[in-house]
Structure 1
Amino acid sequence: MRVSEAMTRQVHIANPDQSIRDVATIMAECDLGSLPVGENDLLVGMITDRDIAIRAVANGKSPNATTVREVMSQDVKYCFDDAELSDVARNMGDIQLHRLPVVDHDKHLVGILALADIANCEGSEVAGDTVCGLSVPRGH
């Protein structure tokens, strides 16, 4: 099975020039812990609730004046829409990620793959292996 068959296509996307207050509001309303950041239809980063808390709030930055670009992670892990789902699921466990942006080969954001998507499509074995990988502390 390919990632494109399991991923969620309707993805909320943050703009790098949005304030972190706007993005935090979207995260709260949609019960999300992270959002891909897109610019000109390309994936340019990820912003998480942790980025907002650690890189902005803890450093006294204004939620209204601080942009997503200032606190987002630019080194984003992603997968391709035509990749094998089982391979991507194993990789997610190895690198301890709960969700992964999905891009096409032109690097356009086309969806997001979450553990729930894997569980719904692949069954308990692959999803279980992925979750086990997430529960192992890094470095062990």
Structure 2
Amino acid sequence: MTTAADIMHPGAQWVPATETLDRVAQLMRELDVGALPVSDPTDPNERMCGIVTDRDIVIGCVAAGHDPARVTAGDLCKGTPRWVSADADVDQVLREMENNQIRRLPVIDENKRLVGIISEADLAHHLSDDQLAQFVESVYA
């Protein structure tokens, strides 16, 4: 059985909710990623409170006329964060992404620590053509 841990991109990094968006964007550039999970620095377990994408920064901050040096990652986090366990099977991963129409999914271990992220590119490398077509249809519909 293929699990989330098998298909994820390992080594994902958190940014604290207090981090400014200009720094988040710089970190995205350095890491060559389009999204970063956001942790709640007031939580001693550093639990995820959301995820910020490059698109969020452009649409939710820059295009809205806000200064990314003054807006934080936490300011953009909305809704309930979605994630999957590292031992989840591929069907569970796809269900979570499809049901929530998300393109990136953080992966956590048994201690609730971030261990990776699954992106569309990761899915493309590990799914059959039929599975990938169904995913694209569900998420982009």
Q: TM-score, normalised by structure 1?
A: 0.80
Q: 1: CA distance between counterparts of 2:79 and 2:23?
A: 19
* Residue 66 of structure 1 pairs with residue 71 of structure 2: yes
Which residue is 2:26 aligned to? 25
Change in CA separation of 1:55 and 1:119 when aligned onto 2, cut-off 3 Å: closer
Change in CA separation of 1:15 and 1:27 when aligned onto 2, cut-off 3 Å: same
* Residue 5 of structure 1 pairs with residue 6 of structure 2: yes
1:52, distance to aligned residue in structure 2 (A): 2.2
* Residue 47 of structure 1 pairs with residue 47 of structure 2: no
Alignment length, in residue pairs? 136
1:46, distance to aligned residue in structure 2 (A): 0.8
Identity of aligned residues (%): 32
Please tell me whether the aligned partners of residues 101 and 113 of structure 1 are also in contact (alpha carbons under 8 angstroms).
yes
* Residue 35 of structure 1 pairs with residue 40 of structure 2: no
Counterpart of 1:124, as a letter, is: D
**Root mean square deviation, CA, Å:** 2.2
Please tell me whether the aligned partners of residues 35 and 54 of structure 2 are also in contact (alpha carbons under 8 angstroms).
yes
Please tell me whether the aligned partners of residues 105 and 119 of structure 2 are also in contact (alpha carbons under 8 angstroms).
yes
Gaps of 5+ in 1: none
1:59, distance to aligned residue in structure 2 (A): 4.3
Which residue is 2:119 aligned to? 114
Q: 2: CA distance between counterparts of 1:48 and 1:14?
A: 12
Gaps of 5+ in 2: none
Q: 2: CA distance between counterparts of 1:119 and 1:60?
A: 36
1:50, distance to aligned residue in structure 2 (A): 3.3
Which residue is 2:61 aligned to? 56
Aligned residue runs from structure 1 range 77-92, under 5 A: 77-92=82-97
